[in-house]
Structure 1
Amino acid sequence: MVLSTSGVSYDTVVFDSDGVLVEPPTRETQLGATRAAFREMGVEDVDHEHLMDIVNGVTSDRLSALCAGYDLEPAEFWAVRERHDERSQFEAFRAGDRTCYDDIDVVLELSQRCGVVSNNHHSTIEFVLSFFGLQSAFDTYYGRPKTIESLALKKPNPHYLERALAELEAENDSALYVGDRETDIVAAERAGIDSAFVRRSHCRGVELAAAPTHEIADLSEIEPLISG
């Protein structure tokens, strides 16, 4: 399945990480890391909806309101939560509970300039590239720092995508961002570049309000797509 504009070719390709290069973290893992953070801060009884709020893309304002309800200092709690979240991801990769997708070899063979831009921690992207031996495939990578301030810079904000494109010296009309969420499509649109939506099993039935430039079933369709 490829929906594309004929004749288009790209010399720069930027990939999301979770859900595109590697399997996304499970909801149970994310919730467990958040519960562990509350426990470390001395809070044992946490409303499930509050846990879900934090896992489902919490904003700095919402985080402040949640912390106020548990008499926690937001920056201190967030530092603990991010540490537990990072640890839980490293453990999942090391245990083999999460891995890279089988079609990752396609990316390793691309001749285009490539990068990674993710809403995950920068340190986690660094770990992923090292753990799976992918460093040579990418000329740059960006995740976010483990700070409250970084929440406002997550996609669909194109901040880190634009930084990667600048570092790759990409021209907007020949750059492509590959993602698995609507926020990826919107970020690419705001950055002024084309997008490819990968319909992995976890997002196969997702209906999109924003239209990607291309839709692909997996990364095996990347090479003919970007070659025009």
Structure 2
Amino acid sequence: MSYDSLLFDVDGVLLGFHPNHPTIYRQAVVATFDAFDVSPSTADVDAFIAGAKIDDMRHVCDRLGVDFDEFWPKREANASRLQCGMMNRGERVPYDDCAVLSDLAAHHRVGVVSSNQHETVEYMLEQFEFAHLFETVYGRDPTVEGFGRTKPDTYYIEQALADLGVTGGLYVGDSACDVRAAHDAGLDSVFVRRSHREGYDLPEEPTYEVTSLTDLPNIPGVASEFSA
């Protein structure tokens, strides 16, 4: 068996987290409410952070008198702007083991599928000179529908597979939703257990687990391509 395609998540896989990385998303939410002259409570902001649900976010906006459909694209733009600023300042940089990507791209069809904003993902790939390595790139659309299609939904993974003209391969991620999305899309999964995932429990067993991207060529089916 050999894997004809490799798809990568971005945050926590290719791009390192800032020690205070959740703060940037809180800042984006607060900045967006500021544009509507609204001061949200801590609980209101919490509804927009990790594990956020569209119904809960919409409820907060309704209660605060803010049109959620107007709020959302502004929030996405603020989140992208703030994240790109972190990259510019060197506060978020790629992991050193991304050096293996050029070899992987030489032997496989590779792509990116991230739940982050598409604008942020494209900026990251250009900023760190990775764009030429990937044949297809998907982040989420800056719409409510785009947010609803993020992992573990398989929508963007399926789009990437269609672009590559393949039906199988590996998806490399660092979260439970990455593993679930991979399997639901018919892909094998690689879970990258970096330092920020120490002690992290996976409800679903990944096909492979590694601690570095440099371990990928040691995976059967990836290694066969390198020896070809």
TM > 0.5 between the two? yes
How far did 1:210 drift? 1.0
Task: Within 5 Å, give how 1:141-160 maps onto structure 2.
Answer: 141-160=137-156
Return 5+ residue gaps in structure 2 as ranges: none
**Contact between 2:141 and 2:147, CA under 8 Å: does it hold in 1?**
no
Q: How far off is 1:17 after superposition?
A: 0.6
| SS state at 2:3 partner | coil
| 3-state SS of 2:48 partner | helix
Conservation of the 8 A alpha-carbon contact between 2:117 and 2:141: yes
Task: For residues 150-185 of structure 1, give each alpha carbon's deviation from its aligned partner in whole angstroms, at most 9, with x where no partner exists.
Answer: 12101000000011011111232xx00000010000
CA contact (8 A) 1:10 1:227 kept: no
1:132 aligns with 2:128: yes
Partner Cα separation in structure 1 for residue 85 and residue 28 of structure 2? 11
1:50 Cα deviation from its structure 2 partner: 2.2
Tell whether 2:15 aligns with 1:19. Answer: no
CA-CA distance at 1:34 after TM superposition: 1.2
- Which region of structure 1 is more displaced relative to structure 2, 87-96 or 22-31? 22-31
- 1:1-228 correspondence runs (5 A): 8-24=1-17, 26-44=21-39, 46-110=40-104, 111-172=107-168, 175-225=169-219, 226-228=222-224
Q: Which secondary structure does the structure 1 equivalent of 2:96 belong to?
A: coil
Aligned AA for 2:142?
K
Amino acid at match of 1:149: E
CA apart distance, 1:106: 0.5
Taking the aligned partners of 2:13 and 2:137, their CA distance within structure 1 comes to: 14
**Structure 2 residue matching 1:109: 3-state secondary structure:** helix
Question: What is the aligned partner in structure 2 of residue 4 from structure 1?
Answer: none
User: In structure 2, how many angstroms separate the alpha carbons of the residues matched to 1:214 and 1:152?
Assistant: 27
Q: What's the TM-score, normalizing by structure 2? A: 0.92
Give 1:49 deviation, angstroms: 2.3
Superposition deviation, residue 9 in structure 1: 2.9
Moved over 6 A (4+): none
SS in structure 1 at match of 2:200? coil
CA contact (8 A) 1:14 1:114 kept: yes
Q: What is the rounded CA distance, in whole Å, between the counterparts of 1:128 and 1:161 in structure 2? A: 19
Q: 3-state SS of the aligned residue for 2:157?
A: helix
Structure number with greater CO (CA < 8 Å, separation at least 6) is 1
Count of paired positions: 218
Letter of the 2:108 partner, please give it. Answer: Q
2:13 maps to amino acid: V
1:220 is aligned with what amino acid? T
Where 1:13 maps in the other structure, the secondary structure is strand
Deviation of 1:207 after TM superposition, in Å, equals 0.5
